[in-house]
Each structure stands twice: as structure tokens, then as C-alpha cells.
Amino acid sequence: MTEDEKVLKDPVHGYIYVHDPLIWDLINTREMQRLRRIRQLGCTYFAYPGGDHSRFSHSLGVYEVIRQMIRAFERNNYTWPHEFDRLAMVSGLLHDVGHAPFSHALEKTMGVRHEKWSVAIIRDPSTEVHQVLERAEAGLADRVADVIQKTFPNRLIVSMVSGQLDADRLDYLMRDSLATGVDYGTFDLARIIRVIEPITDRLVVRKSAIHTVEAYLLARYFMYWQVYFHPVSRAGEVLLQTILRRAQDLMAEGTGLDFPHPALRSFLAGTMDLEEYLSLDDSALYNAFSVWRMGADPILSDLCARFLDRHLLKELAWPAEQDVLLESVRELVASHGYDPNYYCIVDETGTVYYDYYLGSNREPNQENAIWLYERATGNLTEMSSVSLPIQAIASEHHPVRRLYVPWEVSVDKRFDTLVHDTNGGL
Ligand code: NI
């Protein structure tokens, strides 16, 4: 531990400090370095030109938030299990190590969530990450994997990495907001770190900081609407998924699809092994798109050109009641010369801004609560029970539903007539 301190400049935290050689060795593994080549926000750069930062800087940021939280606990003499300091920081650093190219956009295509890959990378003896962890401490790889998949017995450590006020959210909201320029996504991170307190098995917040926490939750709400659900970000994701679906269909037909990267075949077939998975990054896909653009299939070629040139599909609000019109819209799309299977797509997404009430019966989930703590009395109060703005955004799943079609179709008068006639001439 007496090695030189390493200091990295960072736009969110000013500086990121590394004292433990284990952290430095992990940063320098092949699997962590791969995250430099994966965009944190997938296709958001189509909407916000600045939003093309990497998973790598976010991962360092999560480590730094956890490091700062632990230092704040120390300064305040809070009861905190310091034997887990290293485990918490390592888990924060590695929590996203299994991310797919373009972050979340491809999880749907592959049918596997990134956490599964993260755990596989950490557990597999062939990876550098695993070897570095096990060299430092026997069994550490398994403990880190348990924290990331939330099965580690100490809930404090788990909630620090994934919870309502975890280091992951704290870092990505600030980072994404700074990078995109959406400045109402920022909040007082330094104060949040200062007012978080570990109490037995949970992290709580000092009650006097209620407005700081409100600002954080509202920032999350704004970021979802302005950035993560932005119609143009979603248009990029829709196109990305459609390109891969077309490629999968061509592969199934056996029509001589090119595989510019050797792992693409098993990627599209959903049979990738770990080594193949780690060989893929954003640039492998860009390269495939450039090659497919010049290929023989007119649909795949057009979709790839649209993605590379940002000639995206156009969005229209599409409530579920309008699904009865889909067949007619598909005919309209076909009348413009487009195959509706690839050029008429309903995109559905949504989130809960504060996960206390989950599920259709809206039963509160104690583990997902933010607790306000009064030191003098020891009282714990759940956030939404005393905060009007949080009450307003807490309880519901907020769905976003849109239809994506080529621009020519979206401005076709017949499209308007179709929708308005069914809405009683609204
Ligand atoms: Ni993350």
C-alpha cells in the first residue's frame, strides 16, 4: 500500500485517487480496458453530440464515489465494517465490466443482461480480472461476483453498489448530465456523500438533507425524459436492433451474409462464449455496418446507411389503443416501398423513478426505500411519505410508447387521416 498514489483527472469528481495497487492492476486488465471502446449511452450521441463518453470513465467514477463514501464514514466515526472497504471499491469498479457494445441497446437482441456477463468475467479463471483478484486475495472473485448479483450477505455493501442511492446512479446521472449538457440532471453529489450514514444493514440519509435527496431523484426523473427516453436516442436503438434482426433473418435464410468480425456469427445466433463476447466492442459493430452497407441485401444496406449517416426513423406517439391501426399503417409503409417488418416498429420503454412501490399491487419494498434518519430520536422515515414531489413521481411505472416509421410515411396525409379518424376526429 506504500506504492505511489495514482491520480486521474475526471470531469465529474475533479480527481480520481488510486492508492490500492489492486485497483490499479484491475484498471489495467484487458477486460476493463475494453470498456473504453463501449459508449456509456449507446445511441444517445445522435441526440446529444457530447454524450459519447465511455463505460470506462463511468466505472472509475463509481469506484471514486465509493472511496469517498468510505472516507466520509471514517471522518464521521460511523460504524462501518472496514474489512469490506476493498470489496466495496473493487465491486464498484467492476460492476459494469460485462457491458455489451452500445451498452443497453443490444441486451434485448442477445437476450442476456450485462450483469450475467459481468459475473461470468469475474468468475472465469481465464480472464485477467479473475487472475488479478485471486492473486490479491483467494476467494475475492466470488465475493465481488456476489456483491454485483446482490447475493452477498452484507446488505450495506450491496446497497452501496446497487440501491436507491448507490454509487452507480450517483456517478452516471452526474456524468451523463455533464456530458450531454442537460444541466438540470446535476445535483449536490458532495453533500449526498456527506449525509449518507450506515445504520446496521442499510444506508440512510440525514433528515435535514431531504431537499438534496429530492433534487437527486428529480434529476433522475429529468434525465430519463430528456436523455434516456429521448425520441432520437430511442430511434438510434430501434435502428440498431432492426439492423441486427435483419442480419439474423439473412443468416437464417442462409443468404451469404458477410461476417467482418469472426464473433458476429455466434453473436447473431446467441451462442457466444466469453472469449467471443470480450472481443466485441462498438467499433466491431461499426465496422460490420460499413461492410453491410456495401453488401447485396438492399434492406440491410439501407438500415446500416441510415445508422451511420444518422438518417433515423421518425417517431410518433403511439398509445396502446392505437395498435388496432397497425395493420393499416403497415400497408401504408409498404405503399412507400418499405418492408413493414423492418420499417414500422413500436418501441416501448419506461421506468419507475423511485422504486419503493414496485409491482402491480404497489406493495412497498423496504429494501428499495430511501430512509431519512433523525440522529436524536433514531427515527427512520420513508422518503415519499414526507416529500410531495417524490410522492408525485414515486408510485407509477411510466411507460413511453412510440411508433417509428420512415420520415416520408410520417408526413403522408393518409397517415394523419388514419389516426385522426379513429380518435373521433381529435
Ligand atoms: Ni453502471
* Residue range 36-92, pLDDT digits in tens: 999 999 999 999 999 999 999 999 999 999 999 999 999 999 999 999 999 999 999
pTM for the predicted model, two decimal places: 0.94
Ligand 1 centroid to residue 168 C-alpha, Å: 5
Ion ligand 1 residue ranges (Cβ < 5 Å): 96, 168
Tell me whether strands 371-373 and 14-18 are parallel, antiparallel or unpaired: unpaired
CATH number of 315-351+398-426: 1.20.1250.30
Q: Where in the chain is the domain with CATH 1.20.1250.30?
A: 232-312, 315-351+398-426
Ligand 1 centroid to residue 97 C-alpha, Å: 9
Q: Which residues are CB-neighbours of 53 under 8 A, at least 6 positions away?
A: 39, 40, 41, 175, 176, 179
pLDDT of residue 426: 41
Residue 14's beta-bridge partner residues? 10
Which value, in Å, is the radius of gyration of the alpha carbons in the chain?
23
| Position 418 confidence tier, pLDDT thresholds 50, 70, 90 | confident
Nearest to 158 by CA among 172, 144, 171, 170: 144
Assigned CATH class of 232-312: mainly alpha
Q: Which residues are CB-neighbours of 275 under 8 A, at least 6 positions away?
A: 126
Ligand 1 centroid to residue 344 C-alpha, Å: 32
Q: What is the mean pLDDT of residues 298-317?
A: 97
CATH number of 6-228: 1.10.3210.10
Q: How many CB atoms lie within 10 A of CB 335?
A: 12
Alpha carbon 160 to its chain centroid, in Å, reads 17
Determine the Cα–Cα distance for residues 213 and 387; give it in Å rounded to an integer.
10
Helix (H) / strand (E) containing 217: helix 210-223
pLDDT digits (tens, 9 = 90+) for 159-199: 999 988 999 999 999 999 999 999 888 999 999 999 999 99
Q: Which residues are CB-neighbours of 11 under 8 A, at least 6 positions away?
A: 175, 178, 179
Ligand 1 centroid to residue 183 C-alpha, Å: 20
pLDDT digits (tens, 9 = 90+) for 101-132: 987 777 777 766 788 899 999 999 999 999 99
Residue 315's beta-bridge partner residues? 404
Looking at per-residue confidence, does 362 or 140 come out higher?
A: 140
pLDDT digits (tens, 9 = 90+) for 194-215: 999 999 888 999 999 999 999 9
Encoded amino acid at 290, one letter: S
Ligand 1 centroid to residue 172 C-alpha, Å: 7
Q: Where in the chain is the domain with CATH 1.10.3210.10?
A: 6-228
Determine the Cα–Cα distance for residues 154 and 29; give it in Å rounded to an integer.
27
